[in-house]
Amino acid sequence: MKCDWFEKWSTYSPNKLAVKNIESGLGYDYKSLNHGANAVANIFEKEYNLTKGDRLLVLADFDAEYVALLGVAQKMGIILVPINYRLSASEIAFLVQNSEPSLIIVAEEYRSLLNEVPKLLQEKVIAFSQYENWLTSASKEQTAEYTSKPLEETHPAFILYTSGTTGQPKGAIYTHGMMLWNSINTAIRLKISSDDIYLNVMPPFHTGGWNVLTAPILHFGGTLIMMPKFDSEKVLEALEKEEISISMLVPTMVRMLSESENFKQTDFSQLRYMIVGGEALPIPLIEQWNEQGVPIRQGYGLTECGPNITSLEAEDAIRKRGSIGFPNFYVDTKLMDENGVEAGPTEKGELWIKGPIVTPGYWKNPKETEKAIVDGWFKTGDILKKDEEGYLYVVDRIKNMYISGGENVYPAEVEKCILKHPEIKEVCVIGVPHEKWGEVGKAFVVFKNGRKEVSDITAYCIKHLAKYKVPKHFEVIEELPKNDTGKINRKLLS
């Protein structure tokens, strides 16, 4: 079937504002956005020989022009590979080699991050500004035509990289079918319609940036307001000025907004509710926003499924504090104990997910795919429990991941980097509470020569890791605690 949402809405609501950049005010109605995407698809096909299944890697801020690439992917069947611009050049080089893109689009400010990419791939790089010129010129002319390719629901729309517990990123395949059914689930539970105006401050390299609300809003013909960089004062201004009806933030952002001097003076009357994801929001913050007339919606999701898997109604936010609510419409779930038996009522178990919102696997990684998916059920690695009313709660993460400022950080990845330092014998990284970022990393290190100074270890991490992954605390110890099998006992470290 054809999955061209831009073409459909350019017919139904040609003059409706589809997407706008908050800084410049430049926007596209559905008709101009569709013509722009048509023109880009023609250029990619005729001048760059891109065909269905080819990967297009993008390294840029999330603006209106970036959003248009979703339409290009739906028309052509190319696969978008959004890359995290917070990573180091060496980390990005791995992602480029793994995804094997046929074309790379990079914004000038991030061009140096491709310095470690092989020369052969360097020849496939074009400037994001060049792509923008194609799009904006065609959107003004509104004459470009393109016949969209039929796409199977199983055909990939994205490869979204997540950090692996072994330290090697995994590319979750996100299909057009997943995007469709996630959009339907989202619209049913969050009551999305063409009247909604969504403020997006999430980055393009997270599934949240595309699939929490960007794709659902486009599917249902709403309006996107794009803010590539989070700024608490500008967000408050935009929520009022743009008459935003719905937005999604992570707890750190919510806290920063509430601490602003302008928070209580902001008119939130158009905001139906705020969606908060990434981690649980403290009750005092929920109450603070409720006092301003803004209900808080929380839920649960992950890159490989949905991501909108569960949702908690705003009226339950305080009564069912800590809950992630119920599974969304077209989602099957079960809790499995460590013996592979379904957990009973109120018992803890690992959350398994099944349905059309589950990834078919990881890109070029059959081993991790086989570990994650059993008979169509995706094993999340998260331990949950269900109360007497059926509400779900996250108890713990099987994986040792922690969340810093809304970013997932996997200790094994950080540990792998630190162990490359010639003087480090052992290391263990854990997440510890932080007032601003929620959690930050703390590294326990054992030196080979008994030294105590760690300043150069910090510098080493800054050079080789994204900033948010660099531990904020280091503690030198003589030996890491181990259990009977010789594995590091993380529970004894704090």
Residues 414, 266 within the same domain: no
Q: In this model, does residue 22 exceed pLDDT 90? A: yes
**CATH number assigned to the domain comprising residue 69:** 3.40.50.12780
- Enumerate residues 6+ apart whose C-beta is below 8 A from 90: 116, 464
Q: In this model, does residue 164 exceed pLDDT 80? A: no
Pick from 179-183, 297-301, 413-417 the range whose average pLDDT is largest. 179-183
Residue where a domain terminates, one of 297, 328, 345: 297
Say what the pTM is.
Answer: 0.84
Average pLDDT, the chain: 92
In-domain check, residue 384: no
pLDDT digits (tens, 9 = 90+) for 236-275: 999 999 999 999 998 888 989 999 999 999 999 999 999 9
Please state which of the ranges 149-153, 297-301, 482-486 shows the lowest mean pLDDT: 482-486
In-domain check, residue 105: yes
pLDDT digits (tens, 9 = 90+) for 279-297: 778 788 899 999 999 999 9
Report the sign of the C-alpha dihedral through residues 414, 419, 422, 424, in that order: positive
**Residue 490 pLDDT:** 79
d(CA 183, CA 38): 23
Which amino acid appears at position 13 of this protein?
S
What is the β-pairing status of strands 377-386 and 392-397?
antiparallel
54's tokens: 């080819």
Strand runs labelled E in 32-185: 55-59, 79-82, 103-106, 125-127, 156-162, 170-175
Q: For tokens 């074309």, what's the residue?
A: 103
Helix (H, G, I), strand (E, B) or coil at 15: coil
CA of residue 350 relative to chain centroid, distance: 22
pLDDT digits (tens, 9 = 90+) for 357-380: 999 999 999 999 999 999 999 999
**Residue 395 pLDDT:** 77
**Residue 201 pLDDT:** 95
Residue where a domain terminates, one of 263, 280, 297: 297
Residues 136, 258 within the same domain: yes
Residues 291, 406 within the same domain: no
Q: In this model, does residue 316 exceed pLDDT 80? A: yes
Residues 293, 427 within the same domain: no
In-domain check, residue 197: yes
Residues 276, 406 within the same domain: no
In-domain check, residue 304: no
In-domain check, residue 361: no
Q: What DSSP element (H or E) covers 48?
A: none
**CATH number assigned to the domain comprising residue 477:** 3.30.300.30
d(CA 236, CA 254): 11
Q: What DSSP element (H or E) covers 394?
A: strand 392-397
Strand runs labelled E in 22-152: 27-29, 55-59, 79-82, 103-106, 125-127
89's tokens: 């050049």
In-domain check, residue 346: no
In-domain check, residue 375: no
Residue 167: pLDDT band by 50, 70, 90 thresholds? Answer: low
Residues 126, 247 within the same domain: yes
Residues 252, 109 within the same domain: yes
Residues 152, 291 within the same domain: yes
Please state whether the peptide bond connecting residue 327 to the residue before it is cis, i.e. omega within 30 degrees of 0. no
In-domain check, residue 344: no
Phi then psi for residue 164, to 5 deg, are -95, 155
Phi then psi for residue 439, to 5 deg, are -145, 150
pLDDT digits (tens, 9 = 90+) for 329-352: 999 999 998 788 999 888 888 999
The backbone region for 142, taken as left when phi is positive above 0, alpha when psi lies in -120 to 50, beta otherwise, is left
Q: Are 183 and 356 in contact (CB under 8 A)?
A: no
Give the mean pLDDT of 74-96.
Answer: 95
Residue 487: pLDDT band by 50, 70, 90 thresholds? Answer: low
Residue 317: pLDDT band by 50, 70, 90 thresholds? Answer: confident
Residue where a domain terminates, one of 238, 262, 297: 297
Q: In this model, does residue 175 exceed pLDDT 90? A: yes
**Residue 486 pLDDT:** 46
Domain range for 200 is 5-297
Residue 484: pLDDT band by 50, 70, 90 thresholds? Answer: very low
Buried b / exposed e across 46-55, counting CB within 10 Å, b at 16+?
eeeebeeebb
Domain count, the chain: 2
Helix (H, G, I), strand (E, B) or coil at 433: strand
Residues 145, 285 within the same domain: yes
